[in-house]
Amino acid sequence: MEPIVGILRAIDALNERVGRAVAWLTLLMVAVTFLVVVLRYVFSIGFIWMQESYVWLHGVVFMVGAGYTLLHEGHVRVDIFYRPAGRRFKAWVDLLGSLFLLLPVVAMTAAVSLPYVRESWIRLETSREAGGLPGLFLLKSVLLVFCLLVALQGLSLALRSVLVLRGHPEFVREQAREGI
C-alpha cells in the first residue's frame, strides 16, 4: 500500500503546485487585457503581440490547470446518481471512469497532438499575424503538458479509488465525503 500512497500523493502534490502557480497567470491575464483596452480605446494604440498574449495566457491557464481542476473535482459531471451515492459506488465510478473514459481519451488526445506539436517545433512556428508573438510552438506544446498532467491525475484518481474499495476510507477526497 505504501508505494501506491506515495505515487498518489506525489501526483496530487504536483498538480496542486502546478495549479497554484498557473493561477497567478490569471492576474497577469487581467492586467494585460486591461492594458490592451486602455491603450486601444483611450490612446488608439494597439499591439498584436499584446492581444495575442492574453489569449495565449488564457489557453495555458485552462490547459495546464486541468489536472488541478480534476484533483479538486472541479470538472462538470452529472451528479444525479453520483452525489447521493456512498463512497464505494463513487469509488467504482471514479475507477471505471478513469480507466475506460478519461485515460483513453487523454491517450488519444496525446497521440493526435504529438505530430501537430512536433511539426510546429520543426518549423519553430510563430504567429501568423504580422507583429504577433514568436514561439507558437511553445503554446502548442501545452497540449502535451495537458495530457500528461490530466493522465497523471486520472491515475491518482484510479489509485485513490482502489484504496477506498480496499477499505481505506481515509482516501475519500474531501469534496466526495458529503455522500458517505
Give the residue-averaged pLDDT of 109-133: 96
Q: Is the dihedral of CA 85, 158, 4, 11 positive or negative?
A: negative
The string of pLDDT tens digits covering residues 80-103 is 788 888 889 989 999 999 999 999
Is pLDDT at 180 greater than 50 in this prediction? no
Cα-only R_g, the chain? 20
- The pLDDT value recorded for residue 174 is 57
Query: What total number of domains does the chain contain?
Result: 1
Lookup: cell for 29? 491575464
- Enumerate the H helices of the chain as residue ranges: 2-43, 48-64, 66-71, 79-82, 87-97, 103-123, 136-165
What is the value of pTM for the model shown? 0.90
Rounded to the nearest integer, the mean pLDDT of the chain is 91
* Residue 65 domain boundaries: 2-179
Please tell me the distance from the alpha carbon of residue 162 to that of residue 169, in angstroms, as a whole number. 11
Lookup: cell for 145? 503538458
Give the residue-averaged pLDDT of 69-87: 83
Please tell me the distance from the alpha carbon of residue 159 to that of residue 164, in angstroms, as a whole number. 9
- The pLDDT value recorded for residue 84 is 83
CB atoms within 10 A of CB 13: 12
- Among 2-6, 48-52, 119-123, the range scoring the smallest mean pLDDT is 2-6
Please tell me the distance from the alpha carbon of residue 24 to that of residue 19, in angstroms, as a whole number. 9
CA distances from 57 to 28, 121, 155 (A): 8, 19, 27
Instruction: Label residue 6 by pLDDT band (50, 70, 90).
Output: very high
CB atoms within 10 A of CB 66: 23
Instruction: Label residue 144 by pLDDT band (50, 70, 90).
Output: very high
Please tell me the distance from the alpha carbon of residue 31 to that of residue 71, in angstroms, as a whole number. 28
Who contacts 74 (Cβ-Cβ below 8 Å, separation ≥6)?
none
The string of pLDDT tens digits covering residues 166-179 is 988 777 775 444 44
The position carrying cell 497523471 is 152
Please tell me the distance from the alpha carbon of residue 69 to that of residue 78, in angstroms, as a whole number. 16
Of 52 and 177, more confident: 52
Instruction: Label residue 71 by pLDDT band (50, 70, 90).
Output: very high
The closest alpha carbon to 98, from 62, 61, 71, belongs to: 71
